Amino acid sequence: MSSQVQKQVKQLDRVIIRFAGDSGDGMQLTGDRFTQESAVFGNDLVTLPNFPAEIRAPQGTLPGVSSFQVHFADHDILTAGDAPDVLVAMNPAALKANIGDLPKGATIIVDTHDFSARNLTKAGYDANPLDFLGDAGSELGEFAVHPVDLTGMTVEAVKEFGLSRKDAARAKNMFALGLLSWMYGRPTESTTAFLTKRFAKVPAIRDANITAFKAGWNFGETTEAFAVSYEIKPAPVSPGTYRNISGNLALAYGLVAAGVQSGLPVFLGSYPITPASDILHELSKHKAFGVTTFQAEDEIAGVGAAIGASFAGHLGVTTTSGPGIALKSEAIGLAVMTELPLLVVDVQRGGPSTGLPTKTEQADLLQAMFGRNGEAPVPIVAPQSPGDCFDAAIEAARIAITYRTPVMLLSDGYLANGSEPWRIPETADLPVIEPNFATERNHVLKPEKVLEDGTVQPEEKDFWPYLRDEETLARPWAVPGTPGLEHRIGGLEKGEGHGNISYDPGNHDFMVRTRQAKVDRIAESLPPLEVDDPSGRAKVLVLGWGSTYGPIGAGVRRVRRAGYDVAQVHLRHLNPFPKDLGDILKRYDKVLVPEMNLGQLSMLLRAKYLVDAIGYNHVRGLPLKAAELAEAIGNLVADAEGITVDLTTSTVEEIS
């Protein structure tokens, strides 16, 4: 790629880019490719895809806008960023829908081709905002706007391939990707290889996309419109082999790993639902690991088949989102009663009811905790980042198999679709999970007896399916095919030990308490919480769970950089809570609990520890914003320490 214009190269420590266009414009793919290029380059990064629930929402309208935000940096970052530095807007609706998120001075690249009168009207513009560039007080006056005919140049660049105008124009996203790749010095090989493979069967489309991608790069290099390119150095990270990974992919890999590490075949019973379906798609590829995927007729059959498979000695898994959990609740209760291992994955989305299928939320915590009839305790595990979904899945499987219980794994839409660089673990470092199937009868029916004639009548044993392990309180897992251990289980209350139906009042009371005690007992196997309190002087603790880890960590950093003390703890286990949580809460004057719900963890903490947990709650379908969170933390620090907090005093250049 030749250079005709001498360009300036500026160093930056981080950039946030948002690609936005119609839902058919390929913005998710564009963002994903830019992310892969940045990952391979070695930047730290966090992404935030944001798209409508409709597959092809009405073209050119605000509801049809799909976007992909990528935040990449030369240092460790925790969030996808609050406000984009660069917006690529493929049409007027994409501009209109996103401009409110841009800070002053942000760069905007627009595809002028799609700024037609019709599209402007659809987006709600009375006049073309591009006509007033440079006018004082104009709508785009505060931004550095680059009007570029992306579509026109794409069509021109690919005309040799004889595509229809429509097909030719579809490569405009690759032109935009090429331009941005030049601006930020991204390596291009992986995208070229990707396009070659993706369109291998349609050479004209393949060549058009690669050509458009290169044309976009060359345009950046040669045009005078872009005088500066940028360099963001790789981030220093610990040694290892890395890849970029989304939460759903990491979770699926975690389930495969759980199967390998336990020696159990994985059986997924699932019904398609946004944003969990990708786990089903991914696991369906891994039959070589003995993974069975069953696409059921409904959510209930999905969990039903998983319970059946667990009874038969497989690792039963079901994946869904909140509405699916509602339908599966009765079956999860059956797994509680029959004490069978079961993984229930809830990729949370905005609710209630159908809610916001493609947006994120953490409002299923209490549903996971209590959403069943009767006293039906279910352990809950929540991953904190896309890559952490891998470890969380293995941990959930460990609990399910060891304690013979259904376990809820609470991911969410942000983790599911967001991605980050992930250091690939050594398989030798993964935990080994021991299923410990029952093989022998476990209960003495008749002890050994010496008869009058001196012959010894040997001991006679039978099998009691509810005779528990003393340490874990887990019951034996005896799978069909094991001779001598034939037994019946079911949803009716079980008699202690023998497991036959029992309506005895005392037995029921005992069994209810025992099932609870078994779940409580899991806390014995949990490591102590990591308390991040560098100065040891903090009076304020910020406690979170799940995907808010990134924004909370970024907010906490801002407060600390401004010179104030704040502690952070993040929970992976929501039921049972780790044993040391109560003591940790007591050590701080104020506890702030940020959540993407109206205070569900706060409610649990208040109930269990009588702590005055203060909620910080948003339910906008988007991750919490680090800057706003920092303000809230700062206010609480001011309150707790009786000081004035000014977060603008930071001496270090602001990062998140």
Site for another protein in 252-271 (CB under 8 A): 253, 256-257, 260, 265, 267, 269
Q: What are phi and psi of 87, to 5 degrees?
A: -120, 125
Taking CB under 8 A as the binding criterion, the range among 57-65, 84-92, 215-223, 311-319 that sits at the site for another protein is: 311-319
The CB-of-316 to another protein minimum distance in angstroms stands at 7
**Closer CB to another protein, 4 or 500, in the complex:** 500
52 Cβ contact list (under 8 Å, min separation 6): 23, 63, 64, 65, 66, 358
The CB-of-428 to another protein minimum distance in angstroms stands at 8
Distance separating the N- and C-terminal Cα atoms of the chain? 34
**Closer CB to another protein, 262 or 367, in the complex:** 262
Indicate if the alpha-carbon torsion angle 644, 647, 648, 650 is positive or negative: positive
**Closer CB to another protein, 333 or 350, in the complex:** 333
The CB-of-341 to another protein minimum distance in angstroms stands at 13
**Closer CB to another protein, 301 or 592, in the complex:** 301
Q: Confirm or reject binding of residue 487 to another protein (CB under 8 A).
A: yes
What six digits make up the tokens of 408?
């809820």
Applying CB under 8 A, which of residues 289, 469, 628, 639 lies at the interface with another protein? 289
Half-sphere exposure of 459 (CA within 13 A, CB side): 7
The answer to whether 431 touches 399, Cβ cutoff 8 Å, is: no
The CB-of-130 to another protein minimum distance in angstroms stands at 37
511 Cβ contact list (under 8 Å, min separation 6): 493, 494, 496, 502
Residue list 130-189, contact with another protein (CB under 8 A): none
Q: Shortest CA distance to 244 belongs to which of 463, 421, 490?
A: 421
DSSP states of 541-600 as a string? EEEEEGGGHHHHHHHHHHHHHTT---EEEEESEEESPPTTHHHHHHT-SEEEEEESSSSH
Q: Confirm or reject binding of residue 242 to another protein (CB under 8 A).
A: yes
Return the number of other C-beta atoms located less than 10 Å from residue 62's C-beta: 16
The CB-of-346 to another protein minimum distance in angstroms stands at 19
The CB-of-623 to another protein minimum distance in angstroms stands at 25
Applying CB under 8 A, which of residues 308, 431, 582, 615 lies at the interface with another protein? 308
Residue list 372-391, contact with another protein (CB under 8 A): 390
Applying CB under 8 A, which of residues 127, 202, 424, 598 lies at the interface with another protein? 424
- Peptide linkage before 476 cis (omega within 30 of 0): no
Q: Confirm or reject binding of residue 290 to another protein (CB under 8 A).
A: yes
What six digits make up the tokens of 621?
């379908």
Q: Residue 286: what residue type? A: H
Indicate if the alpha-carbon torsion angle 370, 372, 375, 377 is positive or negative: negative
DSSP states of 170-208 as a string? TTHHHHHHHHHHHHTT---HHHHHHHHHHTTT-HHHHHH
- Judged by DSSP in three states, 508 sits in helix
Q: What are phi and psi of 419, to 5 degrees?
A: -140, 165
Q: How far apart are CA 571 and CA 579, in angstroms?
A: 12
Taking CB under 8 A as the binding criterion, the range among 137-145, 283-291, 552-560, 647-655 that sits at the site for another protein is: 283-291
The CB-of-464 to another protein minimum distance in angstroms stands at 12
**Closer CB to another protein, 313 or 544, in the complex:** 313
Residue that is written with structure tokens 């025992």 in the block: 514
Q: Confirm or reject binding of residue 240 to another protein (CB under 8 A).
A: yes
Q: How far apart are CA 90 and CA 27, in angstroms?
A: 9
The CB-of-214 to another protein minimum distance in angstroms stands at 19
Applying CB under 8 A, which of residues 215, 300, 389, 569 lies at the interface with another protein? 300
Q: Residue 610: what residue type? A: L
Q: Confirm or reject binding of residue 60 to another protein (CB under 8 A).
A: no
Taking CB under 8 A as the binding criterion, the range among 34-42, 217-225, 541-549, 569-577 that sits at the site for another protein is: 34-42
Q: What are phi and psi of 28, to 5 degrees?
A: -65, -40
Residue list 616-655, contact with another protein (CB under 8 A): none
The CB-of-50 to another protein minimum distance in angstroms stands at 23
User: b/e string for 24-48 if b means 16 or more Cβ within 10 A?
Assistant: ebbbbbbbbbbbbbbbbbbbbbbbb
Q: Shortest CA distance to 79 belongs to which of 630, 616, 569, 542?
A: 630
Taking CB under 8 A as the binding criterion, the range among 169-177, 304-312, 375-383, 623-631 that sits at the site for another protein is: 304-312
The CB-of-485 to another protein minimum distance in angstroms stands at 7
The CB-of-171 to another protein minimum distance in angstroms stands at 22
Residues 312-351: x where in contact with another protein by CB under 8 A, - otherwise, as a string: xxx-x-------------xx-xx---x-------------
Residue list 190-229, contact with another protein (CB under 8 A): 190
Q: Residue 433: what residue type? A: I
The CB-of-513 to another protein minimum distance in angstroms stands at 23
Q: Shortest CA distance to 416 belongs to which of 354, 362, 368, 343?
A: 362
Q: Confirm or reject binding of residue 39 to another protein (CB under 8 A).
A: yes
What is the total count of residues that contact another protein (CB under 8 A)?
A: 71
Q: Confirm or reject binding of residue 297 to another protein (CB under 8 A).
A: yes
The CB-of-500 to another protein minimum distance in angstroms stands at 6
Q: Confirm or reject binding of residue 414 to another protein (CB under 8 A).
A: no
Applying CB under 8 A, which of residues 53, 204, 326, 489 lies at the interface with another protein? 489
